[in-house]
Amino acid sequence: MTASRTARERVRAELTKEIADIARRQLATEGAGGLSLRAVAREMGMVSSAIYRYFPSRDDLLTALIIDGYNAIGECVERADAATDRGDHLGRWLAVCHAVRDWALANPHEYALLYGSPVPGYQAPMDTVEAAIRDTVVFGRILSDANEAGALDPPGIAPAPPPSLAEDAALVRSLMPGISDLGVFRAINAWTGLFGWVSFELFGQFNNTLDNRRTAFEHCMLNNAALMGLGIPEAAR
């Protein structure tokens, strides 16, 4: 019967989820390198080999955690964007920035897993990219919206990209329709700048300098907004 089959599959799904949850908790406290299948099994009251019925290897468990992580930060960014007035493009950009940073500070090990050094010997499968770009999609939509509303003023201290970059720009443009080549690369610069900042802060590169980090971060992201041509509030000029 389907009912009984789903009974078995239901407990399987539940156990799979429980393993992932415990693994995520371990990840949060120990980091990616400290993720131990045996420890997970111990906490579940199972024997270590039984875990392999649910995840064929440690890397597969890692992949599951990575996908979950991308979805978590992606959803977080989506919510932050949705909570901001749709016409306030600068506000949406700042909301996204803070969402990324806040999530990273709240889940440092997961952030490190997603945006830090790749786990040695681990090759992220293609399944991850779909989840991986959820936040980037939001970012692109903000820019497209701003562009459509004519709010992307291009006074442009930014230099024009060389023509040889047109192909690359076209590819990225699928995430931000309507944006010019110049705008695309300003966007890439701002996006990498955002994650560069967060990584620096999280990975201890700002060692003892920079106390007032949230304010400094927001200011720098305003800088990046200015570079992209997203309007600056008059008060800050």
Partner DNA sequence: AGTCGTCAAGAGCGGTGCTCTCGTTTATTC
Partner DNA sequence: GAATAAACGAGAGCACCGCTCTTGACGACT
Residues that bind DNA (CB under 7 A): 1-2, 4-5, 7-8, 12, 15, 35-39, 45-50, 52-54, 56-59
Instruction: State the Cα–Cα distance between residues 169 and 133, nearest whole angstrom.
Output: 17
Nearest residue (CB) to DNA, 54 versus 103: 54
| CA atoms of 228 and 172, how far apart (whole Å) | 15
For DNA, the closer of residues 105 and 119 by Cβ is 119
What values do phi and psi take at 123, rounded to 5?
Answer: -115, 115
94 binds a copy of itself (CB under 8 A): no
Select 7 or 149, whichever has its Cβ closest to DNA.
7
Regarding 113 and contact with a copy of itself (CB under 8 A), the answer is: yes
| Region for 54 from its dihedrals, namely left if φ exceeds 0, alpha if ψ lies in -120 to 50, beta otherwise | alpha
**Spatial separation of the C-alpha atoms in residues 109 and 32, rounded to whole Å:** 7
Residue 14 Cβ vs a copy of itself, minimum distance, rounded to whole Å: 29
List 112, 142, 143, 146, residue binding a copy of itself (CB under 8 A): 112
Contact positions with a copy of itself (CB under 8 A) in 204-233: 204-205, 207, 209-212, 215-216, 219-220, 222-224, 226-227, 232
The DSSP secondary-structure symbol of 118 reads P
Whether the Cβ atoms of residue 169 and residue 189 lie closer than 8 Å to each other: no
1 contacts which partner out of DNA, a copy of itself, none, CB within 5 to 8 A by kind? DNA
Rounded to whole angstroms, how far apart are CA atoms 145 and 222?
A: 18
Q: 36 is in the binding site of which of a copy of itself, DNA, none (Cβ under 5 to 8 A by kind)? A: DNA
Determine, following the binding rule CB under 8 A, whether residue 158 of this chain makes contact with a copy of itself: yes
Rounded to an integer, what distance in angstroms lies between the CA atom of residue 155 and that of residue 93?
Answer: 19
Is residue 49 within a helix (H) or strand (E), and if so which, with residue range?
helix 48-51
What sign does the CA torsion over 154, 156, 158, 163 have? Answer: positive
Block residue for tokens 């701003």 = 146
Enumerate residues 114-143 that contact a copy of itself by CB under 8 A: 115-121, 124, 129, 132
Closest CA to 16 of 58, 53, 70, 46: 53
Residue closer to DNA by CB (options 17, 214) is 17
Can you give the binding site for a copy of itself, defined by CB under 8 A? 30-34, 109, 112-113, 115-121, 124, 129, 132, 155, 157-162, 164-165, 167-168, 171-172, 185-186, 188-189, 192-197, 199-200, 203-205, 207, 209-212, 215-216, 219-220, 222-224, 226-227, 232, 236-237
